[in-house]
């Protein structure tokens, strides 16, 4: 097990080399990825939605941050504490309440201010005091309240009504009542600049903009430009209402990560008004095709986000032990951000030690290389990627309900013929074995064997 210092030195030192690394005859793409200086490796941390859902409060956010700080996970790089929806005043379908410049207002009943400090800044300051970073949630467009009140745009002579397209609705899953911004109009970029300046003044380090569609390309660029204009480094995370790879070129150029799959939470499974079980095998296994389809677009500066990692609450995860290994392995092979969705104040120690603190697997994620699917047959799927040092990382997956042997020849994962053979290090068990040319493993139902393969 490697210490975090060596892991960080390795991952942060190799990102430039990854842009010219080759695998299976093709160069890593995404050379035009966002270069705003953040997320050179996938972010690690926690997000509120899976567990807290519609009931976040300042005290709950602080408790989760403190629990992550004390868990030992922060030392491994888990440093983001991200607040999702339901933090702002939502009076009804007319849209969120707005300040005098048309921006959302913090719900002070759950995020109370302290003196002149907004409740969001209070939470951000606490999270920063623990050495961690703070993320927040927004959706695109303008609240109808800003349009109806014709609020001025800060620092300009323009108003909200002048930049709005009232006939085009934007997604907002809390209030609704959002309409599109026409970024061809004077004052539109300045409005988004003022939004980001406000978030920067609160100490925000990460912005999730949710409900995005293929038609929201202008919003992605506008938020990216606003972040640059603010002078504060912030991750830009673009998550879907419903978008496709049509949006990928814009995402690669202006965003740091993007989520395009359905929510991983198993809403239909929940019992007794709780968030448990957090997910299910069906909600995890539907990611395989997404990981394959979006592989060409990931690289340092911009990553495919496969949604929250629902591991850490034991049986409340909703996954068997084999399925937990599959989720982390698939996310790591895809170089996805690893944002825990669990209740950090009630961590299951076995989950933490067996899965979340496995630094050999974590290094697979932090290499910033998205694996290609090299086998998709029946219940068997294999994803693989090559490291700059020549190692191959190979994930043998069995999506079926019974154990199966899964195998591929070394040539299928772009390993040159080696008369001395190869060593296969199982990154979950630590066991190493030798093979002369076939990479194989006995894979349990819904499980994975994850190898680091080296030439001998």
Q: Percentage of the chain surpassing pLDDT 70? A: 93
Residue 35's pLDDT band, with cuts at 50, 70 and 90, is: confident
Q: With contact defined as beta carbons under 8 Å apart, do 308 and 264 qualify?
A: yes
d(CA 317, CA 343): 10
pLDDT for res 21: 39
SS3 state of residue 37: coil
For the chain, how are helix, strand and coil distributed in percent, rounded to 5? Answer: 35, 25, 40
DSSP for 254-308 reads H-SEEE-SPPSS-GGG--TTS--S---HHHHHTTHHHHHHHGGG-BTTBEEE---
Task: Give me the domains of the chain, ranges plus CATH numbers.
Answer: 4-370 (3.20.20.70), 375-455 (2.60.40.1180)
Average pLDDT over residues 221-229: 98
pLDDT of 37 higher than 90 = no
**Alpha helices, H only, 19-105:** 49-52, 58-71
The answer on pLDDT for 176 being more than 50 is yes
**Rounded distance, CA 219 to CA 433, Å?**
51
**pLDDT 10s digits, 316-340:** 999 999 999 999 999 999 999 999 9
Question: What is residue 416's predicted lDDT score, i.e. its pLDDT?
Answer: 84
Nearest to residue 435, comparing CAs of 449, 456, 416? 456
Q: Which residues contact residue 361 at a Cβ distance below 8 angstroms, ignoring those fewer than 6 apart? A: 328, 329, 332, 355, 427, 428, 450
- DSSP output for 204-239: --EEEEEEEEGGGHHHHHHHHHHHHHHTS--EEEEE
Is 11 a residue whose pLDDT tops 60? no
The answer to whether residues 281 and 251 touch, using CB atoms and an 8 Å cutoff, is no
Position 14 pLDDT exceeds 60:
no
**Residue 17 confidence class, pLDDT cut points 50, 70, 90:** very low
Burial of 181 (0-12, 13-18, 19+ CB in 10 A): buried
In this prediction, residue 273 carries a pLDDT of 86
Q: Are 359 and 2 in contact (CB under 8 A)?
A: yes
Give which of 394, 443, 444 is closest to 414, Cα–Cα.
Answer: 394
Mean pLDDT value of segment 159-184: 97
| pLDDT score of 126 more than 60 | yes
Q: What CA–CA distance (Å, rounded) separates 359 from 53? A: 29
C-alpha–C-alpha distance, residues 236 and 219, integer Å: 11
* Predicted model pTM: 0.92
C-alpha span between 279 and 89 (Å, rounded): 29
Kindly provide the residue ranges of all beta strands, DSSP E only, lying in 6-119, ordered along the sequence.
Answer: 22-23, 26-27, 44-47, 80-82
pLDDT, tens only, 257-283: 999 999 999 999 998 889 999 999 999
User: Which residues make beta-bridge pairs with 206?
Assistant: 135, 235
pLDDT at 18 over 80: no
Return d(Cα 329, Cα 322) in angstroms, integer.
10
């Amino acid at each position: 097990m490697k210490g975090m210092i060596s892991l960080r030195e390795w991952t942060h030192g190799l990102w430039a080399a990854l842009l010219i690394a080759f695998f299976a005859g093709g160069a890593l793409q995404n050379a035009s990825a966002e270069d705003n200086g953040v997320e050179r490796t996938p972010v690690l941390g926690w997000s509120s939605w899976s567990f807290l859902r519609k009931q976040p409060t300042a005290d709950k956010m602080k408790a989760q941050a403190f629990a992550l700080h004390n868990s030992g996970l922060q030392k491994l790089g888990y440093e983001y504490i991200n607040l999702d929806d339901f933090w702002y005043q939502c009076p009804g379908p007319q849209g969120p309440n707005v300040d005098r410049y048309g921006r959302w207002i913090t719900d002070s009943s759950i995020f109370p201010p302290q003196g002149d400090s907004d409740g969001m800044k209070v939470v951000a300051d606490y999270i920063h005091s623990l050495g961690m970073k703070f993320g927040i949630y927004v959706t695109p467009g303008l609240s109808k309240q800003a349009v109806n009140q014709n609020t001025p745009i800060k620092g300009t002579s323009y108003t909200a009504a002048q930049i709005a397209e009232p006939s085009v609705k934007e997604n907002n899953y809390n209030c609704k009542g959002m309409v599109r911004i026409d970024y061809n109009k004077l004052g539109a970029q300045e409005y988004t600049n003022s939004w980001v300046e406000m978030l920067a003044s609160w100490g925000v380090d990460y912005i999730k903009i949710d409900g995005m569609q293929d038609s929201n390309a202008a919003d992605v660029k506008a938020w990216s430009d606003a972040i640059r204009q603010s002078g504060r480094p912030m991750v830009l995370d673009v998550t879907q209402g419903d978008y496709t790879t049509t949006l990928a070129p814009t995402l690669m150029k202006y965003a740091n990560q993007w989520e395009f799959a359905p929510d991983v939470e198993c809403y239909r499974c929940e019992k007794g008004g709780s968030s448990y079980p957090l997910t299910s095998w069906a909600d995890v296994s539907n990611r395989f095709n997404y990981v394959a389809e979006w592989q060409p677009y990931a690289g340092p500066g911009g990553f495919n986000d496969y949604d929250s990692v629902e591991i850490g609450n034991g049986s409340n995860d909703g996954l068997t032990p084999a399925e937990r290994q599959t989720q982390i392995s698939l996310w790591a092979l895809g170089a996805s951000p690893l944002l825990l969705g669990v209740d950090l104040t009630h961590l299951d120690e076995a989950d933490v030690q067996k899965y979340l603190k496995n630094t050999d697997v974590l290094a697979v994620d932090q290499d910033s290389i998205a694996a290609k699917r090299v086998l998709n047959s029946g219940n068997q799927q294999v994803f693989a990627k090559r490291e700059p040092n020549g190692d191959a990382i190979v994930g043998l997956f069995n999506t079926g309900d019974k154990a199966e042997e899964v195998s591929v020849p070394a040539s299928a994962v772009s390993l040159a013929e080696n008369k001395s053979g190869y060593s296969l290090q199982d990154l979950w068990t630590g066991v190493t074995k030798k093979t002369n040319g076939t990479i194989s493993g006995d894979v349990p139902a819904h499980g994975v064997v994850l190898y680091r393969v080296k030439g001998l």
